[in-house]
Structure 1
């Protein structure tokens, strides 16, 4: 799998529509519904070349839904996050599709699995990785400090392979 996943889709090999169909099926299996609006927001996130902010999503959404307002997008994003279909990249205040949501569920990580983001400070490309060694190291350090983590996200800023070659 390439380091920088394209458009938030696993290894760039799966179509956005196939990913959306899998997301709808996963939601249904959990008793939730990927409504047309939620599907549309997820489609926009998956199609974005880089993490995308809520207001950029709103601008794109208004092309098809002129009455869309910020709460419309935020409610959809909350649902998508709860279902483990998207992540918020705190450093960028933006959202990306989860590049392995069902695989994370299969390995027992659930909706809020520990993950790490590699963020290119030059081109903005962002890759999600789920390295258990990183999660275990952070959890161990937290325990040693008497801290009990509830959710774990690590964001690393640097340069992707393509940008590192150029600069």
Structure 2
């Protein structure tokens, strides 16, 4: 839990630099995502809230909190699954590559990796040559984690 407290403190500092506030409710939702190795939906976070804090929170409140956290670059939305993960770089003090997500189709574990900007630029160029406009450079790669791959072998 001390690692989560460190991340929450860094998230709070990050919000302060943008003039935003990381309220207790926002911290609780972020904590739920930090504690999970899987992406969670708003409704799964409602369940987490009920189990962890013995309180209820409306799903719309969770969606608003997730929108805020995403806007502050503290969480990422996995578009295909309509679920969220905590950013793995909240406590880092250096520039990062473009975030991409490896999603285990068997167990649901999500890992954030970075892809070099050059690769995304090439992808964007190829998309434009095909007559399209890239709306988001985020890739969600469906894979098997090493544990699940070993079990399947």
TM-score range, shorter chain: 0.7 to 0.9
> 1:114–1:151: 8 Å Cα contact kept in structure 2?
no
> 1:121–1:158: 8 Å Cα contact kept in structure 2?
yes
Match of residue 44 from structure 2: 56
Moved more, 17-26 or 127-136: 127-136
Aligned ranges 1:16-165 → 2 under 5 Å: 16-63=4-51, 64=53, 66-101=55-90, 103=92, 106-107=94-95, 114-132=98-116, 133-165=118-150
TM-score by length of 2: 0.85
Moved more, 115-124 or 146-155: 146-155
Pairs aligned (count): 149
Distance 1:67 1:120, change over 3 A: closer
Runs of 4+ in 1 over 3 A off after TM superposition: none
Alpha-carbon distance in structure 1 between the residues aligned to 2:131 and 2:139? 19
Tell me the alpha carbon deviations over residues 75-104 of structure 1, each in whole angstroms, 9 at most, x when there is no partner.
10000000000011123221101111465x
- Contiguous gaps of at least 5 residues in structure 2: none
TM-score by length of 1: 0.79
Alpha-carbon distance in structure 1 between the residues aligned to 2:147 and 2:77? 24
**Alignment RMSD:** 2.2
Q: Secondary structure, in 3 states, of the residue corresponding to 2:112?
A: strand
Deviation at 1:73, TM superposition (A): 0.4
- Contiguous gaps of at least 5 residues in structure 1: 1-13
Alpha-carbon distance in structure 1 between the residues aligned to 2:108 and 2:44? 15
